[in-house]
Structure 1
Amino acid sequence: MNIEQARFNMIEQQIRPWDVLDGAVLSLLAAVRREDFVPTAMKALAFVDTEVPLGEGQVMLAPRVEARMLQELKVQRHETVLEVGTGSGFVAALLGHRAQRVISLECRPTLAAQARANLQRAGLSNVEVREQCGSTGLAEEGPFDAVMLSGSVPSVPKALLDQLKVGGRLIAIEGHEPVMCAVLYTRQSEQAVSREELFDTVAQRLDGFPEPTRFTF
């Protein structure tokens, strides 16, 4: 496989047509080696428009979803970012290239260890992986400029929204299969948070977020 041609095709045929037009984001996707964050047995899927299995029943988001969420979050170089759901560490790496500091939370010890190794090999010294679930966030390190939930949740817990600075943004995929939507929350003031629906997609559930009780008749 011609790696660079495959990377080019991923960007031009999957990501750009999905309204990812930010030149800085596209340049970053061309520079960060996605194949280095994919399990060895899955290397052939590194640039395919699909979720890549990571083991333990977990997956990487599809490349176009990662790219669109990164673009919409609009992370700036001076900002501190919290990610929930580290997985392989690829999204944390992308965030690390754009932010001053990134803390990424991963429930599963094996994935957390693999992500740390991947990030270390990639030279990302401003990204820290912590082994814990992220449904309650990380209040002791907040408030944050930006929060990314790298997976889906029934709804975003108030505890996470409360950890946004004024002007801070949180992006997540909310809902229940088959209807889910990427949403962007922005803290407008100490009292007010806005919510904007961005695009429809479906993603695997993040660990540790309680599902609402459903009545059956």
Structure 2
Amino acid sequence: MKTLLLLVYMLAATRGAIAQNTQQDTQCVLERAAMVETIRAYARSYADVLGQQGLSERVLAAMGQTQRHLFVPGRSCSVAYADGPLPIGLGQTISQPFIVTLMTELADVAPDDVVLEVGTGSGYQAAVLAHLARKVCTIEIIPQLAEAAAKTLKDLSYDNVSVRLGDGYVGWPECGPFDAIVVTAALGQVPPPLIEQLKVGGRLVMPVGPAYTIQTLTVVEKTGPGQTTTRAVGHVRFVPFTRSKD
């Protein structure tokens, strides 16, 4: 009798947990859809940058497919899909959803591209890029973040993403050359090694400017060997670019 009651209790608890998880999953889907609509609304204010066509449906689909709540502490859907940046610990942040979308759009990633991300953080930007590119190589200088991001990306089956612990300033030559590079931390100038590892016709997107103040979101296009064009997109505020002390 005790065994039967225990089995009934366990079955009820399992059903309750399934129902709770299903409810949470539904909430996450709704919150993520609302986030995408907020991104669409923001894009209308960037017509001078994005053109009349606005954001591409490929990029918006990538934002809608990527489970942002699994890349933030607490994994709360209501928090993860809100319109703003979030702390992820160790003095680092995950960017506002629209900024992630904008930088991804400006990188102009094609399905067969190889992309470098500098500043893995929680792994969210790499996951978004993974929906668009053939291969994503991402570098993080903080060991705890690199390890956690690699685990999250592996658990979510992002098999086309490779995570490396190291100084992103020097890039990742063995993984390149790259069709696009996205840098998610601010520096006073674009690192020359990253330009060297960019293919001709490729784009680099990063915030340029001093730490702890307003920076300029910048797009650098490599037009030929040793030749680039640069354009400023708008004002942003990112955490500072961290260099190795060695």
Give the TM-score taking structure 1 as reference length.
Answer: 0.90
**Displacement after TM superposition at 1:26 (Å):** 1.1
Residues 29-73 of structure 1 show CA distances to partners (whole Å, capped at 9, x for unaligned) of 111111111112665420112221111111111111101000111
Using a 3 Å threshold, how does the CA distance of structure 1 residues 41 and 26 change in structure 2: closer, same or farther? closer
- Output the amino acid matched with 1:192: Q
Equivalents in 2 of 1:197, 1:9: separation in Å? 29
* Structure with the greater alpha carbon radius of gyration: 2
Structure 2 residue 129 is matched with structure 1 residue 105: no
- Output the amino acid matched with 2:42: W
Structure 2 residue 223 is matched with structure 1 residue 199: no
From 209, 213, 218, give the equivalent of 1:178: 213
**Displacement after TM superposition at 1:193 (Å):** 0.6
Are the aligned partners of 2:58 and 2:132 in contact in 1 as well (CA < 8 Å)?
no
From 193, 200, 208, give the equivalent of 1:166: 200
The size of the alignment, in residue pairs, is 209
Using a 3 Å threshold, how does the CA distance of structure 1 residues 116 and 175 change in structure 2: closer, same or farther? same
The 10-residue stretch of structure 1 (201-210 or 75-84) with the greater mean CA deviation from structure 2:
201-210
**Partner SS, residue 82 of structure 1:** strand
- Output the amino acid matched with 1:65: I
From 68, 91, 94, give the equivalent of 1:57: 91
Are the aligned partners of 1:84 and 1:106 in contact in 2 as well (CA < 8 Å)?
yes
Equivalents in 2 of 1:171, 1:41: separation in Å? 28
From 82, 102, 119, give the equivalent of 1:85: 119
**Displacement after TM superposition at 1:136 (Å):** 1.2
Identity %: 32
Using a 3 Å threshold, how does the CA distance of structure 1 residues 137 and 200 change in structure 2: closer, same or farther? same
Give the TM-score taking structure 2 as reference length.
Answer: 0.80
Where does structure 2 lack aligned partners over 5 or more consecutive residues? 1-23, 44-53
Are the aligned partners of 2:71 and 2:124 in contact in 1 as well (CA < 8 Å)?
yes
Residues 1-40 of structure 1 show CA distances to partners (whole Å, capped at 9, x for unaligned) of 7222221221112x11222621111111111111111112
Equivalents in 1 of 2:232, 2:142: separation in Å? 30
Equivalents in 2 of 1:141, 1:196: separation in Å? 26
- Runs of 4 or more off by more than 3 Å in structure 1? 41-44
**Partner SS, residue 152 of structure 1:** coil
Of Structure 1 and Structure 2, the greater helix share is in: 2
Equivalents in 2 of 1:56, 1:131: separation in Å? 15
Are the aligned partners of 1:42 and 1:52 in contact in 2 as well (CA < 8 Å)?
no
Alignment correspondent of 2:31: 6
- Output the amino acid matched with 1:66: V
Residues 163-196 of structure 1 show CA distances to partners (whole Å, capped at 9, x for unaligned) of 1111111000111353311111111011311101
Equivalents in 1 of 2:225, 2:216: separation in Å? 26
Structure 2 residue 169 is matched with structure 1 residue 135: yes
